Amino acid sequence: MLAPNKGQKHMAEQIDDGQKGYGASDIKVLEGLEAVRKRPAMYIGSTDGRGLHHLVYEVVDNSVDEALAGYCTRVDVVLTKDNSIRVIDNGRGIPTDIHPTQGIGTVELVMTVLHAGGKFGEGGYKVSAGLHGVGVSCVNALSSLLQVTVYRDGKEFYQTFHRGVPQGPGVFRGETDKQGTTIEFLPDSEIFTESVYNFDTLSARLRELAFLNKGLTVTIRDEREDERYHEFFFPGGISAFVEYMDANKKPLFEKPVHFERETQGLPLEIAFRYNDGYTESMFSFVNNVNTVDGGTHVVGFKSALTRAINNKAKELLGKAKKNDVELTGEDMREGLVAVISVKLHEPQFEGQTKHKLGNGEVKGIVETAAFELLTTFLEENPAVARKIVDKVYNAAVAREAARKARQLARRKSVLEGGGLPGKLADCSSRKPEECELYLVEGDSAGGSAKQGRDRNFQAILPLKGKILNVEKARMDKILANEEISTMAQAIGCGLGESDPEDGGGFRFEKLRYHKIIIMTDADVDGSHIQTLLLTFFCRYMRPLIDNGVLYLAQPPLYKIKAGKIEKYAFSEEEKEAILAEVGADRKGLYMQRYKGLGEMNPEQLAVTTMNPATRILKKVTMEDAVEADLIFTMLMGDEVEPRRKFIEENAHLVGELDV
């Protein structure tokens, strides 16, 4: 448990306190920490839940660095009852001596000087430096209390900090046979707008770290209300990652292909496998950070894969006289699940969200190494090579069929320039920035929505029944599906396989509505349709999610009437609160549970779910591409239970409330 040391002083007092002997260098330290506190977002991205979780990743990164250096085998993360976080590792422990040139304890130095973290190690450098890579001193600056305990050389060393400022010098307090570092911190409520950690969010990231650092044991324990515990340990490393991602699909061959090599000072690790599906799942990491938008390492790998498989295909298909179609890179990646992980000293991150690797030299290095390794692998594993080539050939044939289907569709002007679908009740405004499109489940709800809308800016597209499960279909089928082509026409951007490298065939600039709102019943069927639509948007209209255009409507679950009072509840908690407010036992109380949109009349639907002044919308985000993709594949499989659970929780896809 965290408890401030008695008799220790706060920062302001210490600055004033001349007796403490704070010299120029201490003032500098305080200025550094003060800069972090003044502009926390500059250092950790934001001060919301995301920033809050970032603190944990920053501390854990230091332990992972110890593991990368070969000194640490275990990291334990504990969420304590008071919402502080304890990170325990069995590394070397931060040196506890007085630093030779800085004249203060090394622990204090690491904890108070920005970017000091790894510089003091022996030839050590920080590779796992997170996206922001700001170091543990930032965590310290943003914590109302931080305690470090170091177990090193048989002794236990302890020091505490308050908003970054040491509460006295560190002290040795007894002997120990343990080794390592324990850091416990309480995020400062003056800085953060949220204070509660999400077990699943932390757990997902820690699992990922365990995959990326094979042999490292990472655990997480929740000591708050519900005791929960996970232990992650993957001797197979990123091969196990591929298997995990691919768990709900049928693999083309059993063991993922796995390469590990260091070329020109660049450690490179690749694992991949093919499944019987049609989509591509590529997960790339730089210094353990997920590069959601790819970058030069991914480009290098893709082009190596294309060349190596192409060579093999020429040989095998030539023999079989099946060289009637041209194979493309996309064909090579149909049903591919791959993880690529590189480590480099000075990564340059690009793109809107800085999730894309920009270092030009990396492309060539990765391509050369991967091509060589792939070529050798395909030579040495003829059975697997044949399976891959057959799969790629089939993909090319299907792509050809899809192209023909698209041409046909174009001629019928279904996808482009052919006007709008008949089922669409469009709005009168032609300014996309003020227009909204409601995708409504079922014709009857569609009818109510049409009557309840503001036709100036709200358009309604009723969808009939379930849309095609795109996870299980190829492009030609998808194009031929009526509900999908109707949606594509209404939205106006066309369709494209989501490829972060080139954006696919999707043209965001043609978007006709800046809000696209999925409105389904609050029941199992509605949830299923919602998931199918999310899968579709994720795979084929991904920029809608990236640009924050896609929303989920939140129809109320209950209507509660008590005399003249009429209220709607959007959750069970809200229902309880309203019942408590009006008095649950009062006479004349009437409560209706809405099972579907159809049970509301147009006015009710308008007030509760459509009127911007009173409705609740949830914005769909790609907060965590890895988890999202996993969820999609998992949910689209045949397991019903995880799907139901996800839909209830909706945790990873649904972000901020936009009321």
Please state the φ and ψ torsions of residue 281, each to the nearest 5 degrees.
-125, 105
Catalytic residue among 108, 334, 471, 521: 521
Catalytic residue among 222, 441, 471, 629: 441
Q: Cβ of residue 71: shortest distance to ligand 0RA, in angstroms?
A: 8
Choice between 91 and 446, CB closer to ligand 0RA: 91
Q: How far apart are CA 345 and CA 144, in angstroms?
A: 32
Choice between 91 and 277, CB closer to ligand 0RA: 91
Residue pair 344/413 in contact by the 8 Å Cβ criterion: no
Compute how many other C-beta atoms are within 10 angstroms of the C-beta atom of residue 104. Answer: 17
Q: How far apart are CA 180 and CA 71, in angstroms?
A: 9
Residue pair 495/541 in contact by the 8 Å Cβ criterion: yes
Q: How far apart are CA 241 and CA 210, in angstroms?
A: 9
Choice between 72 and 298, CB closer to ligand 0RA: 72
Catalytic residue among 194, 390, 400, 525: 525
Q: Cβ of residue 62: shortest distance to ligand 0RA, in angstroms?
A: 3
441 annotated active-site: yes
- Looking at beta carbons, which residue is closest to ligand 0RA? 62
Closest CA to 32 of 183, 141, 105: 141
Q: Cβ of residue 89: shortest distance to ligand 0RA, in angstroms?
A: 5
AA letter at 574: E
Q: Cβ of residue 139: shortest distance to ligand 0RA, in angstroms?
A: 10
Choice between 100 and 588, CB closer to ligand 0RA: 100
Q: How far apart are CA 275 and CA 336, in angstroms?
A: 6
Choice between 8 and 179, CB closer to ligand 0RA: 179
Choice between 86 and 207, CB closer to ligand 0RA: 86
Q: Cβ of residue 96: shortest distance to ligand 0RA, in angstroms?
A: 10
523 annotated active-site: yes
Catalytic residue among 523, 572, 581, 658: 523
Q: How far apart are CA 480 and CA 565, in angstroms?
A: 50
Q: Cβ of residue 112: shortest distance to ligand 0RA, in angstroms?
A: 13
Binding site for ligand 0RA (CB under 6 A): 62-63, 66, 89, 91-92, 94-95, 110, 120-122, 124, 136, 181, 183
Tokens 């660049």 locate to 266
Q: How far apart are CA 123 and CA 10, in angstroms?
A: 36
Can you say how many angstroms the Cα of residue 462 is from the centroid of all Cα atoms in its chain? 31
Choice between 187 and 294, CB closer to ligand 0RA: 187
Residue pair 54/132 in contact by the 8 Å Cβ criterion: yes
Tokens 């659970």 locate to 645
DSSP state of 99: P
190 annotated active-site: no
Compute how many other C-beta atoms are within 10 angstroms of the C-beta atom of residue 95. Answer: 18
Q: Cβ of residue 442: shortest distance to ligand 0RA, in angstroms?
A: 55
Q: What is the dihedral of CA 483, 485, 490, 494, to 10 degrees?
A: 150
476 annotated active-site: no
Residues annotated as part of the active site: 441, 521, 523, 525
